[in-house]
Amino acid sequence: MNAVRKLSLVLVCFVAGCSRSSDDNSSDLAESSTVPESVAATQLQPAKSPEVEPDDPSSQSQPPPEPLAIGLVAPPLDVEHWFTSTRPPVTEFEPGQVYVVEFWATWCGPCISSMPHLAELQKEYADQSVQIISITREKVETVEKFLDKPANIGLPMKKPADKSDSAEDKNAEDKTDEETDEEAEPVTYRELTAAYSLTADPDGSAYRSYMEAADRKGIPCAFIVGSDGHVEWIGHPMAMDEPLANIVAGDWDREEAKAEFIREEKRFTLFMEIMKAHRSKNFDQALETLEQNQELFTGSQYEGYLSNIKLESALRDQDSEAVLSEIETLRELEDGDGSVTNAWAWKVFQAVDAGYPDDAKIVAATIDALESATENSTVDLTWSAMDTLAHLKAHVGDTDAAIALQTKAIELAPQRMTDSMQAFLDELTKDDAEEPTPEDEEEEEDE
């Protein structure tokens, strides 16, 4: 049976980060990179990534920087070039001012995807003594080339300048929306990032003072520097809304933040151990580490992925009671876009399609969860969930529903995915055509 590979966007998205062999390579990769539209916002989130950004060769001959962590004084900035900002360059942090020091690169997809959010945050806090400073280690020429490219990340088009006095625009009101859109120009990255302070520091001094000093390996990564010049938070820029709001409001508990950050570091280390064991098919080891630290993971952003591991284990052991229990847990973790449910539902289908015994309750629970997730989905993952649901419906003999779902899924799916989906639909319609009708059965009896 042909099937589509499922989009598995479980809670691993929190580690979305970038690595690259050279900071000075072309930025073209950034436009083809993908990142989840949202990152689960937690109070504290390490900006580490399973992908390691390469060390700067020039730093190997220099003494190691002073360690940096939450609660320590933020080092001064020594940034070479400031691109787009109405604010003056910063070297020393002013008392009473809050700063976000973020590290990025033109080739880093998640970094590019964070840009609109950073711009909106800077506008939101424009009158509240907050300055966002974004730093790359790349050459100035590399960044200049990148900044003039269209920002192809779902932004509205820029309308042409108003020329209402010209003869050509006398009939502007008669133009259709489509004609107006055709004339509109895309927003460039230079225009997008003009709201905050975008910079380049090719000698890597700021990177060493912050990223290396804090043992951060992946980008994007943000450091929030509080009004007294101390580091208050470190993490992914898409997860900093709540911490930033509390810091600006004066409601931030630095000591609790420090303690939680240490706990989060421990979670991350254990999580990576579990992932490594699971990917190496050391399932018993992965499950043992998970169960030994279950309390530490409960309620964290890792819970969804770890529940998937437990579900896979239960399916392998053919432990139906455990499977149903994990399905209930995963249903509670669905975040509204259908991706969490779709990922584990496909695993259930694969198991039952391979001959999992006594599967009626499991399939029924999975169909119910997936129908609910598909109905409530707010993003374009719906087509993939429909494909999964079609396979499950076909498994229980509801061919008509499977055909309807698969037909709709193909209409919504991107072109590159439709061949294998069409093959499954052809299989469904062939089986449906070959199934004898009641009239055929009566004729056979008469003969």
Q: Residue 430 is part of a domain; what is its CATH number?
A: 1.25.40.10
Does any domain span residue 444? no
- Residue 58: the pLDDT is 55
- Residue 51: the pLDDT is 35
| 216 and 319 part of one domain | no
Q: What is the DSSP letter of 10?
A: S
For 99-137, b/e burial (b = at least 16 CB within 10 A) is bbbbbbbbbbbbbbbbbbebbebbeebeeeebbbbbbbb
Does any domain span residue 257? no
Give the torsion through C-alpha atoms of 160, 163, 164, 165, to 10 deg: -170
Is the N-terminal amide bond of 220 cis, ω within 30° of 0?
yes
Instruction: Name, in order, each residue with C-beta under 8 angstroms of 442's C-beta and a sequence gap of 6 or more.
Output: none
Tell me the three state secondary structure of residue 190: helix
Q: State the residue range of the domain holding 353.
A: 302-436
Does any domain span residue 7? no
| 174 and 29 part of one domain | yes
Q: Output the tens digit of pLDDT for each of the chain's 447 residues.
A: 433 333 333 333 334 456 544 344 333 333 332 223 222 222 333 333 333 355 555 555 678 899 999 999 999 999 999 997 677 899 999 999 999 999 999 999 899 989 999 999 999 999 999 999 999 999 999 999 999 999 876 566 555 455 444 445 545 445 554 444 455 577 899 999 999 999 999 999 999 999 999 998 889 999 999 999 999 999 999 989 999 999 999 999 999 999 988 888 899 899 999 999 999 999 899 999 999 998 999 888 788 888 889 999 999 999 999 999 999 989 887 766 677 788 899 999 999 999 998 789 999 999 999 888 877 665 566 788 899 999 999 999 999 999 999 999 999 888 888 998 999 999 999 866 665 555 555 555 555
| 78 and 198 part of one domain | yes
Does any domain span residue 277? no
The domain tally of the chain equals 2
- Residue 380: the pLDDT is 60
| 352 and 236 part of one domain | no
Does any domain span residue 308? yes
Does any domain span residue 188? yes
Q: Which two tokens stand for residue 233?
A: 């938070």
Does any domain span residue 151? yes
Does any domain span residue 415? yes
- Residue 337: the pLDDT is 60
Bridging pattern class, strands 197-200 and 81-82: antiparallel
Helices (H), 194-239: 205-207
| 231 and 338 part of one domain | no
| 176 and 100 part of one domain | yes
CA distances from 195 to 111, 122, 134, 172, 253 (A): 16, 6, 11, 30, 29
| 185 and 308 part of one domain | no
- Residue 340: the pLDDT is 76
